């Protein structure tokens, strides 16, 4: 009896197909169908398992059997070995290290660039001292007081002149007096409260 070129499959109690050999091989490889899946050349049946259809039963790939490897254990503790003394282990751990100092390796005759961080910083400081001028630490005269007095005399002199010149006008008098007070308080706060010595 010749193999049918297309088969109907019964999957989840539903008839699907027809499927050709290439599509059946893809379904078998992806695990959608198994050798026990019922198939027929006709949609009405009769239904038989795929593995009973000769060549179609061989299209299912053989899955490799996965087993755990048997592990061999080696017994390193022998009955003839002495028992472990925990007090001796603790005493050995608390014992100070031996006092024999390791000899320092000899320095080469022509040392290269330093590799210690502190030595690098010292070398940088020596180079900086050779190339830069020393910082002048003498105290400078404070110009803040001089500038404060100049501003107070010039600007307040203007407000006082406006106050005297416009004595008969209450608006000029009020604005001149307010300018005198606001400027004096403001410039004192800026120069001595906000700014530093310069």
Residue 30 counted as domain residue: yes
Greatest pairwise CA separation for the chain in angstroms: 134
State which H helix or E strand residue 87 sits in.
helix 86-94
Provide the β-strand partners of residue 16.
9
The whole domain housing 28 covers 7-59
User: How many percent of the chain have pLDDT more than 90?
Assistant: 16
Between helix 170-189 and helix 144-165 the angle, nearest 10°, is 170
Please tell me which residue, 41 or 156, carries the higher pLDDT value. 156
- How high is the mean pLDDT of the chain? 79
- Written as six digits, the tokens of 159 are 């407000």
Q: Which pLDDT does position 137 carry in this prediction?
A: 67
Identify the band that residue 47 occupies on the pLDDT scale cut at 50, 70 and 90.
Answer: confident
Identify the band that residue 31 occupies on the pLDDT scale cut at 50, 70 and 90.
Answer: confident
Q: Is the pTM of this model over 0.75?
A: no
Residue 12 counted as domain residue: yes
Residue 138 counted as domain residue: no
**Mean pLDDT score, 41-49:** 78
**Mean pLDDT score, 129-143:** 74
Query: In whole angstroms, what is the distance from residue 41 CA to residue 22 CA?
Result: 16
* Helix, strand, or coil (residue 189): helix
Query: In whole angstroms, what is the distance from residue 190 CA to residue 185 CA?
Result: 9
Number of domains the chain is built from: 2
Residue 74 counted as domain residue: no
Residue 117 counted as domain residue: no
Residue 85 counted as domain residue: no
């Amino acid at each position: 009896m010749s193999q049918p070129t297309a088969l109907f499959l019964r999957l989840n109690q539903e008839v699907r197909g027809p499927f050709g050999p290439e599509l059946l091989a893809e379904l078998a490889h992806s695990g959608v169908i198994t050798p026990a899946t019922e198939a027929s050349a006709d949609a009405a049946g009769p239904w038989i398992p795929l593995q009973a259809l000769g060549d179609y039963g061989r299209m299912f790939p053989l899955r490799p059997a996965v087993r755990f490897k048997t592990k061999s254990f080696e017994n390193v503790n022998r009955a003839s070995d002495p028992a472990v003394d925990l007090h001796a282990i603790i005493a050995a751990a608390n014992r100070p290290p031996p006092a024999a100092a390791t000899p320092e390796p000899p320095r080469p005759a022509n040392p290269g660039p330093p590799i210690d961080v502190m030595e690098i910083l010292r070398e940088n400081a020596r180079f900086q001292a050779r190339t830069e001028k020393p910082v002048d630490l003498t105290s400078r005269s404070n110009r803040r007081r001089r500038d404060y007095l100049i501003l107070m005399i010039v600007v307040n002199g203007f407000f006082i002149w406006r106050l005297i010149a416009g004595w008969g006008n209450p608006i000029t008098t009020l604005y001149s007096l307010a300018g005198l007070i606001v400027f004096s308080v403001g410039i004192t706060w800026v120069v001595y409260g906000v700014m530093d010595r310069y």
